[in-house]
Amino acid sequence: MGNIGFGCKRLKWVHPYFRSTTITILVNGSPTKEFSLHKGIRKGDPLFPDLFIIASEGLNVLANIAIRDWLIRGVGVGEDRVRISHLQIVDDTIFFGDWGIRNISNVHKILTGFEKVSGLMINMKKSLIYEIGGPHADVEAAATKFGCDVGKTPFTCLGMPGGGLNVGSLKARNWALLGKWWWRFRTETESLWVKVIKSIYGRDRGLGHSTSNLSIVRSTIWSNIIHIGIDLFKIGLDINSFFEKKIGDGRDVLFWKDIWTGDTSLKDKFPRLFRLDTNQDTCVNERVQLVNGLLQFSWEWARLPLGRVTGELEQLTGLIGNNVSLSDGNST
């Protein structure tokens, strides 16, 4: 704990659990004399989940060092090639990587090294290697070599299959849970899972009011999360209106569709200009740039704005010029 930044006070709080803990064992129904624990804590101890997570962080550190030194290679996901190498879920760890015996061998070395350092046993007999496009014979040979089995896809994690949130017929609660993930996507912009979703499904991610872009959303879970915004909008609750983007550098704010200046989106304020734009999913930084302290606009019109639309364009540039400032920070 000290090596990962916990202070002396917190270490003192934890030490008594190991120094003063005693247990007794029932032998043929009769308890033995109490004896002290020199390692670990009692089953059911409320401190156990926290200590287990802290210990598991060591595996994460080892994996990140191996990635840094190119000992293992993760996989690139989506158009942005977001790299994913491993995920930790409670006491389960999933490694992702390019197929190759060197990659698998190094993952096995990480696991055995962590086992020796932490004292937590890795049960290879319960571990699985999944084949996704790799040569089946080589996968079976690797499983035999490292003492594990070959798994089959699709698979469950913690006993939960994909699809929905499995809340049954409790519609209101299901909406609340789906809405929570919808909200987390809009606020946790730097999280790995958010970056993966954006890389796979693109900038708009299907979070608007239209169902026209849902054809590219193959994931049942993500489709359900998207639909919560659409379903609530149909009954008069626009959850998009509760969010206002902080622009930052403008790279992750949709110019027309996000609410980032005022209380409505620019496509609703200036619908005729929106229809003229050849890239309606463009971001703020592609339309507005800060050059020598001055805002400059870059448009891609299907045809030049004429007549009353010219007046709308003047209103739009004036609104942005008077109310918007770009910065070097990320958008939120």
pLDDT tens, position by position, 84-99? 888 887 778 888 888 8
Helices 101-118 and 136-146, axial angle in degrees (round to 10): 20
Query: Domain residue spans in the chain?
Result: 1-45, 46-160, 171-242, 245-332
Kindly calculate the radius of gyration of the chain based on its CA atoms and give it in whole angstroms. Answer: 27
Identify which of 55-64, 158-167, 213-222 has the greatest average pLDDT.
Answer: 55-64
What separation in angstroms does the CA of 26 have from each of 37, 44, 318? 16, 17, 80
- Please report the pLDDT score of residue 55 as a whole number: 78
Q: Which of the two residues, 14 and 125, has the higher pLDDT score?
A: 125
- Please report the pLDDT score of residue 276 as a whole number: 92
> Which tokens sit at 135?
């040569």
How large is the average pLDDT for residues 208-224?
A: 55
Kindly report which listed range (17-31, 132-146, 229-243, 275-289) carries the lowest average pLDDT score: 229-243
| Whether pLDDT at 163 is above 50 | no
**Tens of pLDDT, residues 21-50:** 677 888 888 888 887 766 666 666 777 777
DSSP 331: P
Task: Let me know the angle formed at the C-alpha of 285 by 280 and 287, rounded to the nearest 5 degrees.
Answer: 50
| Whether pLDDT at 170 is above 60 | no
| Whether pLDDT at 309 is above 60 | yes
Global pTM value: 0.53
| Whether pLDDT at 155 is above 80 | no
**Tens of pLDDT, residues 243-252:** 555 667 777 7
How large is the average pLDDT for residues 47-58?
A: 77
- Please report the pLDDT score of residue 301 as a whole number: 92
